[in-house]
A = this chain, B = another copy of it.
Amino acid sequence: MTYRIDGLQYANWSEKIFRQMRQGGLDAVHVTIAYHETFRETVLNVERWNRWFEQFPDLIMKGRWAGDVRTAHETGRTAIFFGFQNPSPIEDDIGLVEVWHDLGARFMQLTYNNQSLLATGCYEAEDSGLTRMGREVIREMNRVGLVVDMSHSADRSTIEAADHSQRPIAITHANLHSWQPALRNKCDDVVRAVTENGGMMGFSIYPHHLKDKSDCTLQSFCEMIAMAAERFGVRHFGIGSDLCQDQPDSIVEWMRTGRWTKSIDYGEGSAQNPGFPPQPSWFTDNTDFPNLVDGLKQVGFNDIEIAGLMGDNWLRFFDENFTPDQKEPES
């Protein structure tokens, strides 16, 4: 049995998109429920999802454990796993790590582009590595089963997180810097630190992370995956499409500026192109996952490798990293 999992999406959710997930054959998606939200604001986002789970029980279900991916597969639904792109939902309170795990959060980025209380983001001029609180929070995330995600973090911080963490970490959505030298893509030293410690990386189809951006070909994208697999081992990779389907441009502005600035920050865009860039033709929405299977076949991956890249590698990672690390006392 093989499973299909997307390691990150932040769509403007709707019944249409949930139906497209089914058409695309997705058994599970890690969805972002916070960019800059406080604890209380993120709880409101959980409530929105709870309404969708109640309204569309034949299309989606809440994902808590790896087994929920299998349940979703067997019942023809998509399991939705919660994650944060920023540690803002824990505010300054390490006790909220376990509270969030109870509420279903399974991934948390330590930074979103900027310096956080925990580590340095990839847009800062200086990367000072993990903070004192950052080291404590990683230990607590390890204990409860909340995965450290360094997608938007700076290099030194990411390598330190991979080494300090007692459980594997993830880069849920990024590509190889050697293929497309975007600030958000990861140089080989970073990918090596993450994968050598058992971690996972999901490949992004957000145009700013692609060679030739919106004009990137499926072949070029899949060749990059082949390069990564050869260098670091295919089992450490999957998809993290970063699909922001149906979002208005006001959302990419919120993602970039939150409440940390009163000015405009264009992030990976520019004054000429401030909004979401157009998706490449071969991946415009959730129905396009089968195209990736074809592309991977074309560059020479075998069926088992393709199954791994399309979801089985993520499922193995979910199996090992979502449950608490705590040992129960002997009975």
Residues from chain B with a CB closer than 8 A to the CB of A98 are 47, 50
Q: Is A133 an interface residue (CB 8 A)?
A: no
Residues from chain B with a CB closer than 8 A to the CB of A99 are 43, 46-47, 50, 103
Residues from chain B with a CB closer than 8 A to the CB of A328 are 57, 75
Q: Is there contact, CB below 8 Å, between B102 and A51?
A: no
Q: Is A95 an interface residue (CB 8 A)?
A: yes
Residues from chain B with a CB closer than 8 A to the CB of A51 are 95
Query: Interface 1/0s, chain A 244-255, versus B by CB < 8 A?
Result: 000000000000
Expressed in whole angstroms, the Cα–Cα distance for A273 and B212 within the complex equals 80
Residues from chain B with a CB closer than 8 A to the CB of A46 are 99
Expressed in whole angstroms, the Cα–Cα distance for A40 and B331 within the complex equals 35
Q: Is A74 an interface residue (CB 8 A)?
A: yes
A47 CB to nearest B CB, Å: 3
Expressed in whole angstroms, the Cα–Cα distance for A75 and B328 within the complex equals 10
Q: Is A123 an interface residue (CB 8 A)?
A: no
Residues from chain B with a CB closer than 8 A to the CB of A57 are 326, 328-329
Expressed in whole angstroms, the Cα–Cα distance for A115 and B9 within the complex equals 44
Q: Is there contact, CB below 8 Å, between A58 and B329?
A: yes
Residues of A within 8 Å of B, CB-based: how many? 27
Q: Is A96 an interface residue (CB 8 A)?
A: yes
Within the oligomer, what is the number of copies of this chain? 2
Q: Is there contact, CB below 8 Å, between A75 and B43?
A: no
A74-B331, A104-B102, A329-B58 as given contacts; A96 in contact with B40, CB under 8 Å: no
Residues from chain B with a CB closer than 8 A to the CB of A95 are 44, 47, 50-51
Chain B residue with Cβ nearest A50:
B98
Q: Is A15 an interface residue (CB 8 A)?
A: no
A310 CB to nearest B CB, Å: 23
Q: Is A93 an interface residue (CB 8 A)?
A: yes
Q: Is A39 an interface residue (CB 8 A)?
A: yes
Q: Is there contact, CB below 8 Å, between A93 and B329?
A: no
Residues from chain B with a CB closer than 8 A to the CB of A331 are 74-76
A96 CB to nearest B CB, Å: 7
Query: Interface 1/0s, chain A 71-103, versus B by CB < 8 A?
Result: 000111100000000000000010110110011
From 1 to 60 in chain A, residues with beta carbon under 8 angstroms from any chain B beta carbon are 39-40, 43-44, 46-47, 50-51, 54, 57-58
Expressed in whole angstroms, the Cα–Cα distance for A74 and B329 within the complex equals 11
Residues from chain B with a CB closer than 8 A to the CB of A102 are 102-104
Expressed in whole angstroms, the Cα–Cα distance for A102 and B96 within the complex equals 14
Instruction: List the 5 closest A-B pairs by CB distance, nearest first.
Output: A47-B95, A75-B331, A58-B329, A50-B98, A102-B103
Q: Beyond A50-B99, A57-B329: 13 further Cβ-contacts under 8 Å?
A: A39-B43, A43-B99, A44-B95, A47-B95, A47-B96, A47-B98, A50-B98, A57-B328, A74-B331, A75-B331, A77-B329, A102-B102, A102-B103
| 15 sampled A-B residue pairs with Cβ under 8 A | A39-B40, A39-B43, A40-B40, A44-B95, A50-B95, A50-B98, A57-B326, A57-B329, A58-B329, A74-B331, A75-B328, A75-B331, A99-B103, A102-B102, A102-B103
